């Protein structure tokens, strides 16, 4: 399957130049700086063919969150009972980490409340990593009062796939929620600055997605009792999920049965829509200056915009955003119509529409989302239900794109907990 990289290299550079002119020198600095960390252009990165990459390079892009004292981990395991896997203790420092540890070795840390980071060496700046393993908090063991529930959660790994512009720090809120419940968590992001800088056939951004898929495959192959839950954000994370599923089907179709649930936040639009792509990139470039970050309060079908992010009254950002949206939309009208790009997207969208794992699905979205139209989500949800999938959906009404948890923390938490207990971990029903 043709890669997007070669087809998009020159037009992407041209569009970037126009975008910089439209948004000012501030955007130029963000776009070029290695410290800038946007999620890799989800569709253009995620839907590229997954290359074969040496597994030894994986350690340079992995970090751990939640590891600090091996002895406390062992005590937690003992309290949880023998039914929870007795993982090996981990007390080495960063300097003594093995050169090429496997995911199975990493997973042995999974009930330990410790903390270690493995900094990037080649692809990323020292301030960011693409992949982080978050380990369950010690306080989560036995908190449900149901040993079966604790065991079930200890066998689940939640994979969080970030949105366009997300950094690891943005996904930490979600990872903390899951680890507080006793789940293992993997967070995955890609920096757009590096995607653009290395944009070529078989580029490093494509390799990162391939590495994630390949190592999840290795992990499931070695850890037969473990299963996965995917939690995706925006079309970026959702399409990356599709590419991972594609990889599973190619390597071992039985891995699809190891996916126990899927949560889709602020997605999908299952079509190559230039306006959606332009809106996503504009929001990633402008961040809090973007209109996509503004809350909308709906009262009797009328809308009152409320600027919770203390946006400047200066009209310049709005003018710049309008110009940027126009440029990006024209750009994606051309790019998304390229035969190789269109075919690749069609393959991934087809898989996500009709060949998903037979696991429960939860869609959380908002009628006020300015990037992903609520109607697109609702149409897709209805199609999944007609196809026989167990599907739940919840409209947060007023929250912006991928901002439902921040805007409605208690309601978001209750929706997640209810879905997991009722549909994924039925033995935990009534324990959360």
pLDDT tens, position by position, 96-140: 233 334 455 555 544 344 333 333 334 344 346 688 999 998 877
Percent of the chain with pLDDT over 70: 59
Nearest of 206, 165, 213, 282 to residue 5 by alpha carbon: 206
Residue 206 pLDDT grade (very low, low, confident, very high; cuts 50, 70, 90): low
Q: Which residue has the higher pLDDT, 121 or 285?
A: 285
C-alpha 315/C-alpha 330 separation (Å) is 23
Beta strands 184-188; 131-134: pairing state: antiparallel
Residue 40 pLDDT grade (very low, low, confident, very high; cuts 50, 70, 90): very low
For the stretch 371-380, pLDDT in tens is: 999 999 999 9
* End-to-end CA separation in angstroms for the chain: 45
Report cis status (omega within 30 of 0) of the bond before 250. Answer: no
- Residue 122: alpha-carbon gap to chain centroid: 22
C-alpha 371/C-alpha 364 separation (Å) is 14
Q: What residues are paired with 133 via a beta bridge?
A: 64, 186
Question: What is each CA distance from 374 to 88, 224, 269, 282, 403, in whole angstroms?
Answer: 46, 38, 9, 19, 14
Global pTM value = 0.75
C-alpha 394/C-alpha 383 separation (Å) is 16
Q: What residues are paired with 364 via a beta bridge?
A: 265, 394
């Amino acid at each position: 399957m043709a890669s997007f990289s070669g087809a998009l290299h020159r037009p992407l550079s041209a569009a970037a130049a126009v975008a910089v002119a439209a948004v000012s020198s501030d955007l130029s600095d963000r776009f070029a700086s290695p410290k800038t960390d946007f999620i890799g252009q989800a569709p253009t990165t995620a839907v590229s063919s997954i290359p074969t990459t040496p597994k030894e390079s994986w350690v340079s892009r992995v970090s751990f969150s939640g590891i600090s004292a091996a002895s406390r981990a062992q005590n937690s395991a003992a309290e949880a009972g023998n039914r929870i896997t007795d993982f090996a203790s981990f007390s080495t420092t960063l300097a003594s980490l093995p050169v090429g540890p496997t995911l199975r070795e990493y997973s042995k840390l999974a009930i330990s409340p410790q903390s270690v980071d493995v900094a990037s060496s080649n692809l990323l700046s020292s301030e960011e990593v693409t992949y982080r393993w978050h380990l369950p908090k010690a306080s989560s063991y036995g908190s449900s009062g149901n040993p079966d529930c604790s065991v079930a959660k200890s066998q689940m790994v939640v994979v969080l796939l970030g949105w366009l512009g997300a950094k690891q720090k943005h996904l930490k809120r979600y990872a903390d929620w899951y680890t507080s419940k006793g789940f293992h968590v993997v967070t995955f992001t890609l920096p757009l600055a590096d995607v653009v800088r290395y944009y070529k056939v078989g580029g490093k951004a494509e390799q990162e997605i391939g590495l994630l898929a390949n190592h999840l495959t290795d992990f499931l192959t070695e850890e037969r009792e473990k299963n996965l839950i995917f939690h995706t954000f925006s079309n970026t994370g959702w399409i990356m999920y599709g590419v991972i599923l594609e990889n599973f089907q190619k390597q071992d179709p039985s891995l699809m049965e190891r996916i126990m649930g899927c949560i889709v936040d602020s997605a999908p639009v299952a079509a190559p829509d230039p306006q959606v792509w332009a809106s996503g990139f504009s929001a990633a470039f402008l961040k809090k200056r973007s209109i996509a970050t503004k809350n909308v309060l709906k009262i009797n079908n009328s809308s009152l915009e409320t600027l919770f992010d203390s946006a400047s009254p200066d009209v310049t950002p709005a003018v710049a955003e309008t110009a940027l949206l126009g440029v990006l939309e024209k750009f994606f009208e051309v790019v998304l119509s390229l035969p190789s790009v269109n075919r690749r997207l069609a393959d991934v969208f087809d898989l996500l529409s009709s060949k998903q794992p037979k696991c429960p699905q939860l869609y959380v979205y908002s009628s006020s989302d300015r990037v992903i139209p609520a109607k697109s989500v609702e149409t897709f949800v209805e199609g999944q239900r007609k196809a026989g999938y167990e599907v739940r959906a919840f409209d947060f009404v007023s929250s912006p794109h991928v901002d439902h948890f921040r805007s409605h923390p208690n309601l978001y938490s209750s929706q997640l907990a209810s879905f997991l207990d009722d549909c994924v971990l039925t033995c935990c029903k009534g324990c959360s």
